[in-house]
């Protein structure tokens, strides 16, 4: 997090890049409630995609399906040519998809460096884990440096503030070198300065990762997003760059809750 480069250039839409994530006709039903009703979504290699929508739009549900936490009723989820459906969560992670959660969970009794180190070692077979950690591996050092947590490396993660925990989670993800990062409301509950730092971190990460960010915070969106997908009541309302999304009447309607009659000419 050294040079705050202009976000637009960092997250340049790679329209010719191959699709990394392809979701088609995704439906999720909880009991009788249809949380997702036929979602199509394509995310290309190298993209930074924001996923927005009012409460209950199905943003987290979508992430849950991608990461194997929720089983869809129908539809397909393809990742770099392989289907993700029916795979166990840890297998999906091993395919190269990492995610954070709205409520960050870090291992409080382990040090910050140990947290990242565990994340970095996830591909090692069990016998290889029987060795003690000595020194700091390059992946861990990089993650510590990028998240600005190097000063906390040997402190237990339990002493970190809310914002720092989110960064630690992101750092743990970076250390895994995933092909796709899913961040679920990374700036929720953060102070203004923390949000700024998170934004810079996001821009930095997006340079060499494909990232999907679920976010509520409009100001954050304006500053750091380029490509945006708007979900509403379980389906994709529209897709486009920030300006187009902000100008769109339907988006304004679902966010401001203006009744339909008023809007239609």
Partner 1 sequence: MEALLSQLPIGLSIAAVLMLVALGLTFTFGQMGVINMAHGEFMMAGAYTAYVLQDWTGREAVLAALPVAFAVAGAMGLVLERAAVRRFYGRPLDTLLLTWGVSLVLQQLARDIFGAPNVQVRAPGWLDGGVRMFGSQLPYTRLFIIVLAAVSALAIWAYQNRTRQGRRMRSVMQNRQLAACSGIDTGRVDQLTFFIGSGLAGVAGVALTLIGPIGPNLGTYYIVDAFLVVVAGGLGRLRGAVIAALALGLLDSYAEFWTDASLAKVIGFAAIVVFLQARPQGLFVLRSRALT
Partner 2 sequence: MTARMRGPALFTAVALLVLVVAPAVLDPFRLGLLAKYLCFAIAALGIGLAWGQGGMLTLGQGVFFGLGGYSMAMYLKLHDAGPGNLPDFMVWSGVERLPLLWKPFTSPVFAIAAAVVVPAAAAALLGLLVFRQRVRGAYFAILSQALAAAFTIWLVGQQGLTGGTNGLTHFYDVFGRDPETDGAKRIFYFVVAVVLGALYLLARQLMKSRFGRLLVAVRDGEDRVRFLGYNPATVKTVAFAVSAAMAGIAGALYVPVVGIISPSLLGVVPSIELVVAVAIGGRFSLAGAALGGVLLNWAHTTFSEQYPSGWVYLQGLMFILVIMVAPGGVAGAARWAAEAIGRRRTGRGPSSVPEPAGPTHGQKEVAAP
* CA dihedral sign of residues 71, 75, 79, 81: positive
Of 176, 210, 227, 229, which lies in the binding site for partner 2, with binding defined by CB under 8 A? 176
- CA-atom Rg of the chain in angstroms: 19
User: Is 99 among the residues that bind partner 2 (CB under 8 A)?
Assistant: yes
Rounded least distance, CB 145 to partner 1, Å: 27
The residue among 103 and 191 lying less far from partner 2, judged by its C-beta, is 103
Of the candidates 230, 132, 82, 112, which has an alpha carbon nearest to the alpha carbon of residue 175? Answer: 112
Kindly report the number of other CB atoms within 10 A of residue 82's CB atom. 9
Q: How far apart are CA 75 and CA 24, in angstroms?
A: 6
User: Is 119 among the residues that bind partner 2 (CB under 8 A)?
Assistant: yes
The residue among 37 and 70 lying less far from partner 1, judged by its C-beta, is 70
**What count of residues does the chain have?**
265
Rounded least distance, CB 248 to partner 1, Å: 27
Of 60, 115, 147, 166, which lies in the binding site for partner 1, with binding defined by CB under 8 A? 60
User: Is 101 among the residues that bind partner 1 (CB under 8 A)?
Assistant: yes
The 8-class DSSP code of residue 133 comes to P
Rounded least distance, CB 68 to partner 2, Å: 9
CB 25 within 8 A of CB 76: yes
Considering CB distances under 5 to 8 angstroms, the limit depending on partner class, which of partner 2, partner 1, none binds residue 64? partner 1
Please choose, out of 62-70, 110-118, 119-127, 190-198, the segment that lies near partner 1 by the rule CB under 8 A.
62-70
User: Is 153 among the residues that bind partner 2 (CB under 8 A)?
Assistant: no
Q: How far apart are CA 55 and CA 261, in angstroms?
A: 22
Q: How far apart are CA 203 and CA 207, in angstroms?
A: 7
Q: How far apart are CA 169 and CA 116, in angstroms?
A: 8
Considering CB distances under 5 to 8 angstroms, the limit depending on partner class, which of partner 2, partner 1, none binds residue 123? partner 2
Binding site for partner 2 (CB under 8 A): 67, 88-90, 93-94, 98-99, 101, 105-110, 114, 117-119, 121-124, 126, 129-133, 155-156, 158-159, 172, 176
């Amino acid at each position: 997090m050294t040079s705050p480069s202009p976000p637009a250039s960092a997250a340049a839409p790679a329209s010719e890049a191959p699709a990394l994530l392809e979701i088609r006709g995704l439906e999720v039903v909880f009991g009788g409630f249809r949380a997702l009703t036929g979602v199509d979504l394509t995310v290309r290699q190298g993209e930074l995609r924001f996923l927005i929508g009012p409460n209950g739009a199905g943003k987290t549900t979508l992430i849950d399906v991608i990461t194997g936490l929720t089983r869809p009723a129908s539809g397909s989820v393809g990742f770099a040519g392989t289907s993700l459906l029916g795979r166990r969560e840890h297998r999906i992670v091993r395919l190269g998809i990492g995610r954070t959660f709205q409520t960050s969970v870090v291992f409080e009794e382990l040090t910050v460096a140990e947290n990242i180190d565990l994340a970095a070692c996830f591909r090692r077979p069990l016998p290889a884990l029987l060795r003690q950690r000595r020194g700091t591996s390059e992946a861990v050092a990089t993650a510590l440096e990028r998240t600005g947590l190097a000063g906390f490396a040997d402190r237990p993660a339990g002493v970190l503030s809310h914002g720092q925990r989110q960064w630690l989670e992101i750092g743990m993800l970076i250390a895994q070198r995933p092909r796709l990062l899913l961040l679920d409301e990374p700036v929720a509950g953060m102070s203004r300065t923390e949000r700024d730092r998170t934004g810079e971190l996001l821009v930095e990460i997006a340079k060499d990762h494909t990232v999907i960010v679920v976010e509520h915070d409009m100001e954050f969106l304006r500053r750091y997003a380029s490509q945006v997908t708007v979900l509403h009541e379980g389906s994709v309302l529209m897709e486009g760059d920030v300006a187009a999304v902000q100008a769109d009447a339907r988006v304004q309607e679902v966010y401001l809750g203006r009744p339909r009659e008023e809007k239609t000419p």
